[in-house]
Amino acid sequence: MASLSSSAISNHSLSPNAFVPKKICFFSNQCRSLLLPHRSPICRMGFVSELERKKTSKTNIFASVTDTSVGTSPEKVQLPKGDSWSVHKFGGTCVGSSERINNVAKIILSDESERKFVVVSAMSKVTDMMYDLILKAQSRDKTYLAALDAVLVKHRSTAVDLLDGNELGNFLSALNQDISNLKAMLRAIYIAGHATESFTDFVVGHGELWSAQLLAAVVRKNGVDCKWMDTREVLIVNPTGSDQVDPDFEKSEKRLEKWYSRNPSKTIIATGFIASTPQDIPTTLKRDGSDFSAAIMGALFKAGQVTIWTDVDGVYSADPRKVSEAVILKTLSYQEAWEMSYFGANVLHPRTIIPVMRYDIPIIIRNVFNLSAPGTKICRSSATEDEVDQSLESFVRGFATIDNLALVNVEGTGMAGVPGTASAIFSAVKDVGANVIMISQASSEHSVCFAVPEKEVKAVSKALQSRFREALNAGRLSQVQVIPNCSILAAVGQRMASTPGVSATLFNALAKANINVRAIAQGCSEYNITVVLKREDCIRALRAVHSRFYLSRTTIAMGIVGPGLIGATLLDQLRDQAATLKEEFNIDLRVMGITGSRTMLLSETGVDLSRWRELQQEKGERADMEKFVQHVHGNHFIPNTVLVDCTADSVIASHYYGWLRKGIHVVTPNKKANSGPLDQYLKLRALQRQSYTHYFYEATVGAGLPIINTLQGLLETGDKILRIEGIFSGTLSYIFNNLVGSRTFSEVVAEAKQAGFTEPDPRDDLSGTDVCRKVIILARESGLKLELSDIPVESLVPEPLKDSASAEEFMQKLPQFDNDLAKKRQIAEDAGEVLRYVGVVDVVNQKGVVKLQAYKNDHPFAQLSGADNIIAFTTTRYKDQPLIVRGPGAGAEVTAGGVFSDILRLASYLGAPS
């Protein structure tokens, strides 16, 4: 027989005569603190209403408290403690509607534990609604009455859906009485224009009272004996000066035993969030305090476990809204959960861990909407668990972030070795009530920096300037610097500091994502490494470090510039290989945009490469390079960005420096940047070397052949390049390989053009300019500072035909000049040689040349066929017999393959398995 009158909400003793005056005393104390003396009739009116309610409901009160007739002394029941109790806590979203309350009741009924103690929050949004009532009333906004009616309607309609008969009548009667009392109290607040903290706590706690009564009634409706507990009768807390409360376990335990002796039951539904002070004044455990309530009650019962029911499957390794690859953690130690809570992870109220740690009570985080998910278990870490997996990932369990911070840096030579400086700094910070999130000080003592919420930084800066005005004027302190727009990223895990390589891996991941770290802190507790970053870099940094430690797919946002022959072939190769890269190599290449000279296609999640051509037609928009780059690079969910330039455009190449400075990697077969003006090339390479942004251009020289990579490997291992000589043009290789017998030069050129081996205008190939660009690229890679104009080029375009109006006219007139090349060819054949069009880098003499050269028939260059390229490296190691690289050096397939290879090399640099 549980009473649902609102009098059961308040603290009660064992006699009605004792109960009512105690209640009058509470209200009169509050009114005296709230109202001026001449307003006391308002208070008295409220108390008359309260007294009348007590007189009419005291029989019901006794029925609920003792379950005996008035005057009968109940037999004291001993409170059982230990593993027979399981504690559950259901948050506001879990009890947000009548359907959800029914679901919660089913979970409680299905729990096979011998005894169950259930803590509930107010229905979803109700706590906010109650705070809004206070705000409206003290602002003298009469709409508080309508807002209170909305609260009434919400709970009344929920009760009608859930209950019937006496249970419904009792609840509605109590609800109406509570609403009537709240109207009187809010009226008093409205008149005073002010609400004390006690009044506010009393008002907002009603949401928990109503949800607990509703759930208890639903459980009883299913035939299970169930009592509901107003935890203000049991839980005693001492408010502290930092908007927190400390539980008084000794007093609370005595009150719990007393409460249970009057209300013995194997199923108890209790209010979360609310408690009482030692003076029996209602208070709260502050925002999100229901988790704390459950942990305290679990400790008082010495329960077997505490289950926190929420709307997520467990504790994630990172915020899944920011990191789509975040995973559910099966277990966490108490300390790890504590750290993640402090750093803003949506895990638990930060103080929830403390009570259960005393008795090694595990906490389980579970999803009320997905009962099949096992959730996350938070418990004491055991040595055997740590020994299961000794990889770095086992020591870094999760990542959390805090935004909207500012970094304050106090520095000066006068700080070094001066006792009390840090004390003075943080005393000034304390005086303005600011919360210091993180502190970092170098061992030189030259500076102290710390992070505070951005909304508090002005007051902090002003206080420090005032406190150290004399030291600043005297030069002992150089500055009090404020760095706004910062965020904190924390990596959390036990024993990180004692595990070699964790910090290096973390900072390496940040560096590779081009993230600059402003400050670092790592305590000897070994539970977290904290870094301060620019706010705009925070999500990208979170994705980068999470990807590295959790071996999630190395995700790269790609922008393809130039979907022509090579670009289109690359896109098709990416399409065909995408699934294999994801499944076998953990590489996720997402093409976020494709742009040509006129049209671009953008995607938020990645272009469907199986139909990119159709999508370009259907959803393409006017090309805008600035917008294109911003779109591809601006996606904070992907830490790495690469732009792939498949054009031969010098204007596009001029953007590389700016892209690299923004942290965008560049991959290209475009020769214009590396063979352009020397000063621009040197500037580009200097930037590449001093940053973690990568610039790959293997396909600029030998299409898919490893020419650049081989050259760089030789230099990096200490070899010295003496000479590089090669046939670098697939077109000219084809022409001279097929210039045999009675065939003429013009005939073979026409055949090459027909086969698609030449540019639309063959003069672009025959001029030797393309070979010259490749020679200058290799010369610069070898350390020579040469311009294009420094390389003499023997052109195969007859002088009279250089100015032909069109390619067609050139091809028509070319046969007239066949005799010139025929003579050179005959001279070579008479000497047992063949003609080859080559480029030469003479490193020793610091020069280069592009020319038609005769080679003996047994020379490697004379053995080519088709459109193959061949390059010979003569070095100090390979002096007697040059190192030769040979293979197809032209064609869209092999060139696109070379670009693809560079993209995969980039993925390897960024953390993918290599």
User: Does any domain span residue 291?
Assistant: yes
- The predicted structure's pLDDT at residue 26: 36
User: Does any domain span residue 72?
Assistant: no
Amino acid at 277: T
- Whether 1 and 65 have beta carbons less than 8 Å apart is answered as no
- Cα–Cα distance, 486 to 406 (Å, whole number): 5
Q: Which two tokens stand for residue 627?
A: 């917008």
Q: Are 534 and 680 in a shared domain?
A: no
Q: What is the CATH number of the domain that holds 430?
A: 3.30.2130.10
Q: What is the CATH number of the domain that holds 822?
A: 3.30.360.10
Query: Last residue of some domain: 550, 581, 607?
Result: 550
Q: Are 263 and 184 in a shared domain?
A: yes
- Give 157-196 pLDDT, tens digit per residue: 999 999 999 999 999 999 999 999 999 999 999 999 999 9
Helix ranges, 782-891 (H): 807-813, 818-830
- Whether 796 and 767 have beta carbons less than 8 Å apart is answered as yes
User: Does any domain span residue 745?
Assistant: yes
User: In the structure, what pLDDT confidence band is assigned to residue 11 with cuts at 50, 70 and 90?
Assistant: very low
- The predicted structure's pLDDT at residue 419: 76
Query: Last residue of some domain: 550, 578, 601?
Result: 550
Q: What is this structure's pTM?
A: 0.65
- Give 444-482 pLDDT, tens digit per residue: 667 889 999 999 999 999 999 998 888 888 888 888 999
Q: Are 597 and 725 in a shared domain?
A: no
CA 530 and chain centroid, separation: 15
- Give 862-903 pLDDT, tens digit per residue: 988 888 999 999 999 999 899 999 998 777 899 999 999 999
- Cα–Cα distance, 543 to 539 (Å, whole number): 6
Q: Which two tokens stand for residue 313?
A: 């499957």
User: In the structure, what pLDDT confidence band is assigned to residue 849 with cuts at 50, 70 and 90?
Assistant: very high
- Whether 700 and 672 have beta carbons less than 8 Å apart is answered as no
- Cα–Cα distance, 117 to 219 (Å, whole number): 13
Instruction: Give me the number of domains the chain comprises.
Output: 4
- What percent of the chain is modeled with pLDDT above 70? 87
User: Does any domain span residue 505?
Assistant: yes
- Cα–Cα distance, 509 to 393 (Å, whole number): 14
| Residue scoring higher pLDDT (484 or 497) | 484
Q: HSE-up of 89 (CA within 13 Å, CB side)?
A: 27
User: In the structure, what pLDDT confidence band is assigned to residue 525 with cuts at 50, 70 and 90?
Assistant: low
Q: Are 797 and 870 in a shared domain?
A: yes
Nearest to 694 by CA among 510, 538, 514, 900: 514
User: Does any domain span residue 798?
Assistant: yes
Nearest to 426 by CA among 417, 437, 414: 437
User: Does any domain span residue 322?
Assistant: no
Q: Are 531 and 563 in a shared domain?
A: no
* Stretch among 36-50, 209-223, 662-676, 780-794 having the lowest mean pLDDT: 36-50
Q: Are 111 and 203 in a shared domain?
A: yes
CA distances from 748 to 345, 733, 758, 803, 881 (A): 70, 11, 11, 22, 33
Amino acid at 696: F
> Residue 118 — left, alpha, or beta (φ > 0 → left; ψ -120 to 50 → alpha)?
beta
The answer for residues whose C-beta is within 8 angstroms of residue 490's C-beta and 6 or more apart is 339, 340, 343, 399, 400, 401, 402, 528, 529, 530, 531
- Cα–Cα distance, 578 to 581 (Å, whole number): 5
- The predicted structure's pLDDT at residue 235: 97
Q: What is the CATH number of the domain that holds 274?
A: 3.40.1160.10
CA 235 and chain centroid, separation: 38
Place of tokens 């009473």: 3
User: Does any domain span residue 864?
Assistant: yes
Q: Annotated active-site positions, please?
A: 774
Q: Are 110 and 238 in a shared domain?
A: yes
Q: Are 610 and 634 in a shared domain?
A: yes
Q: Which stretches does DSSP call E strand in 121-189? A: none
Mean pLDDT for all residues in the chain: 86
Q: Are 717 and 787 in a shared domain?
A: yes
Q: Are 594 and 625 in a shared domain?
A: yes
pLDDT higher than 50, residue 25? no
- The predicted structure's pLDDT at residue 342: 74
Q: Are 681 and 568 in a shared domain?
A: yes
Q: Which domain holds residue 833?
A: 707-889
Q: Which two tokens stand for residue 309?
A: 């029911």
- Cα–Cα distance, 731 to 741 (Å, whole number): 19
Running DSSP on this structure, what letter comes out for residue 774?
Answer: H
Q: Are 546 and 558 in a shared domain?
A: no
- Whether 35 and 192 have beta carbons less than 8 Å apart is answered as yes
- The predicted structure's pLDDT at residue 150: 96
User: Does any domain span residue 336?
Assistant: no
